[in-house]
Amino acid sequence: MYYLDNIYINLNSNKMNDNSKVLAALLAGLAAGAAIGILFAPERGSETRDKLNDSLKNLGDSIKDRAADEIGNLSEFKDKVVESIKTKLKGAEEEYVAAKSTASTAAFTATEKAAHKDINL
């Protein structure tokens, strides 16, 4: 979790760790299943290899889909952070302009008062 001024940003590291664990377990399960399948396969080797190849292709597709989802999540997170920063900068700019205007008006008023006192003396 991070704090960007008053805005709380949660990177949700637990979810990221859980996703990594799930992916690692999936890969380990696939490898174990493939090894057992090859050892105990009643089919010819070429058929077993074809099935294994299909399974690995499906796994690759699943990983690509999951990566695309995570990239989408990161993109959304980036957009939120950028929008938050823009909003804060706009607010700071407005405060600066208001403070500058107030200071300018105060300086002008003080100069006018000083000039008025000089004339009345």
Helix (H, G, I), strand (E, B) or coil at 3: strand
**Coil vs helix vs strand at 7:** strand
Enclosing H/E stretch for 83: helix 45-120
Query: pLDDT digits over 56-95, tens only?
Result: 888 888 888 888 888 988 899 999 999 999 999 999 999 9
Predicted confidence (pLDDT) per residue in 12-60, tens digit: 545 556 777 787 788 788 778 777 777 776 767 777 778 878 888 888 8
pTM: 0.47
Both structure tokens of 60: 């690759």
Question: What are the structural domain ranges in the chain?
Answer: 2-120
- Buried-exposed string 66-97: b where 16+ CB fall within 10 A, e elsewhere: eeeeeeeeeeeeeeeeeeeeeeeeeeeeeeee
- Per DSSP, 9 falls in state E
Residue for token digits 């300086």? 107
